[in-house]
């Protein structure tokens, strides 16, 4: 059904919201105040024609915008987009009735995302390599990506050739490409294990193109160079497809906030530590106990710690903090703590931290809603929120990072 709507607001997911008599309809690629004809299906709308454009609308930076599903908000003026993204954090925390100081958003520049997860599929016309259309399985073949670092986008042609060699059939698969200090680290999933002939072809291609590593279905096919990511001054051999902060700049901004808050800490815990993005910066000044459930990430951290001179003691513990959080008695041996959980947050762990005597807490999250819940738990346990800093490391998307710094009240 085609209807004419006026966009009343911007939704938390980055879609324009139209208020109709029978409920809200979410329309991608629209802005508040715009009038549009849409094809409606339940509470979703597809933009068919823009009747009245907002004065806030700008020309998108990428030719693939609206086709490719990677970005949602390239068409919005930067200052308004950034204010909206800061507002996502403000609304989530205010909704919990928290007392906090929200600082200005730290913005994200184009061409800084160091990892891209491409969708790929071999066809009779060649290899499709790009991203899925918004809310679709259709792969949009791309020739540019304005959010990703040039180290990746300058190699799209080579990556397309590599994907053709990797593909064992015409089924879609994922190609995760990470820019490291040693070159591109490439992990293919869903492509099937290569046979002997494909292995030989992949090996020859990899050596010619100078890529650092290729893994297929978790198996290393070739690793001419160890893929290295620098966390502070420490080089870590990251596992294939392992978690990284989206941009170096955002990681450095978060680390600076953590280090400033924990400046007087002697012994700290780094929970959900990954491969050590915060660990190694902290270990320049304090002893650090790291806890992580991902064995490969923890092994990479441990190897780097053991092979780097001049650090304070770094200990490692593999533990699922969702099922078995560190208890308050275990936490009381630390005077500082940082936790950076997945989007689900750290509810069980936050309950134990709230009962502890840890003086300084740095809470990092990519989900304002679960961050607000965890901060509410901590404040009920006697913590005071000193600062909250929103960080945009997911440019032109609806996702926003935030760092909350807390002190145990007296």
* Cα–chain center distance at 219: 24
* Cα–chain center distance at 242: 12
How far apart (Å, rounded) are the C-alpha atoms in residues 121 and 148?
21
Short-list 306, 270, 260, 265, CA closest to 285: 265
H-type helices in 64-215, by residue range? 78-94, 150-153, 156-166, 196-209
β pairing state of 126-132 and 183-189: unpaired
Contact 298, 272 (CB under 8 A): no
Q: Catalytic positions, please?
A: 366
How far apart (Å, rounded) are the C-alpha atoms in residues 210 and 283?
33
How far apart (Å, rounded) are the C-alpha atoms in residues 373 and 382?
15
The helix/strand/coil state of 203 is: helix
How far apart (Å, rounded) are the C-alpha atoms in residues 349 and 293?
14
Find out whether 270 is annotated in a ligand binding site: no
Contact 283, 255 (CB under 8 A): no
The helix/strand/coil state of 11 is: coil
Q: Would you list the DSSP string of 27-96?
A: ETT--TT-EEEEEEETTEEEEEEEEE--TTB---S-TTBTTBSS-S-TTB-HHHHHHHHHHHHHHHHHTT
Find out whether 245 is annotated in a ligand binding site: yes
Residue numbers in the known binding site for S-adenosyl-L-methionine are 245, 272, 292, 340
């Amino acid at each position: 059904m085609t209807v004419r709507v006026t966009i009343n607001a911007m939704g938390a997911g980055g879609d324009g919201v139209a208020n109709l008599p029978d409920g809200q309809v979410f329309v991608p690629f629209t802005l508040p105040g715009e009038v549009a004809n849409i094809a409606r299906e339940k509470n979703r709308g597809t933009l068919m024609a823009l009747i009245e454009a907002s004065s806030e609308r700008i020309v998108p930076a990428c030719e693939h915008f609206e086709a490719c599903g990677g970005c949602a908000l390239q068409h919005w003026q930067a200052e308004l987009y950034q204010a909206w993204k800061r507002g996502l954090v403000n609304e989530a925390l205010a909704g919990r009735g928290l007392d906090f100081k929200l600082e200005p958003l730290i913005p994200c520049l184009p061409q800084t995302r160091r990892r891209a997860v491409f969708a790929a599929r071999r066809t009779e016309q060649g290899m499709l390599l790009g991203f899925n259309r918004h809310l679709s399985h259709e792969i949009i073949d791309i020739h540019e990506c304005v959010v990703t670092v040039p180290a990746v986008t300058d190699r799209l042609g080579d990556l397309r050739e590599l994907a053709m060699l990797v593909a064992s059939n015409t089924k879609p698969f994922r190609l995760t490409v990470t820019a490291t200090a040693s070159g591109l680290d490439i992990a293919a999933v869903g492509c099937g294990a290569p046979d002997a002939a494909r292995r030989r072809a992949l090996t020859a291609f990899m050596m010619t193109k100078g890529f650092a590593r290729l893994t297929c279905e978790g198996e290393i096919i070739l690793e001419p160079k160890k893929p290295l990511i620098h966390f502070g001054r420490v080089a870590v051999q990251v596992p294939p497809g392992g978690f990284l902060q989206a941009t170096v700049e955002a990681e450095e901004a978060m680390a600076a906030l953590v280090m400033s808050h924990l400046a007087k800490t002697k012994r700290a815990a780094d929970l959900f530590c990954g491969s050590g993005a915060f660990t190694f910066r902290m270990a320049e000044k304090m002893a650090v106990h790291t806890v992580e459930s991902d064995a490969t990430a923890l092994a990479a951290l441990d190897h780097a710690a053991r092979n780097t001179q001049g650090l304070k003691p770094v200990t490692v513990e593999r533990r699922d903090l969702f099922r078995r959080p560190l208890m308050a008695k275990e936490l009381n041996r630390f005077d500082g703590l940082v936790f950076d959980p997945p989007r689900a947050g750290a509810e069980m762990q936050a309950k134990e931290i709230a009962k502890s005597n840890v003086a300084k807490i740095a809470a990092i999250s990519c989900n304002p809603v679960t961050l607000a819940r965890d901060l509410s738990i901590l404040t009920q346990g006697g913590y005071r929120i000193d600062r909250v800093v929103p960080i945009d490391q997911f440019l032109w998307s609806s996702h926003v990072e935030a760092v909350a710094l807390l002190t145990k009240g007296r």
